[in-house]
Amino acid sequence: MRRQRALYRVQLAELQLAQRENEQAATTIADLDTASLDSHRITTRLAAVQHNLATA
């Protein structure tokens, strides 16, 4: 997956979480291919979103 698209989807999920749309955020990041992400910044933000979803 292209880096820009992955970043956009993580940012969208972050905004959805901020609006308490947890199911929508989970759907947004559900099929992100984390193995192909080579950006530490994106993977760190994705991990934070996943953590927030798990604790919500």
**53/26 Cα distance (integer angstroms):** 7
The domain tally of the chain equals 1
pLDDT in tens, 4-56: 999 999 999 999 999 999 999 999 999 998 888 889 999 999 999 999 999 98
* Residues of the domain holding 18: 3-55
Q: Which pLDDT score is estimated for 47?
A: 96
The reported pLDDT for the residue numbered 33 is 85
Question: How far does CA 45 lie from the centroid of its chain?
Answer: 7
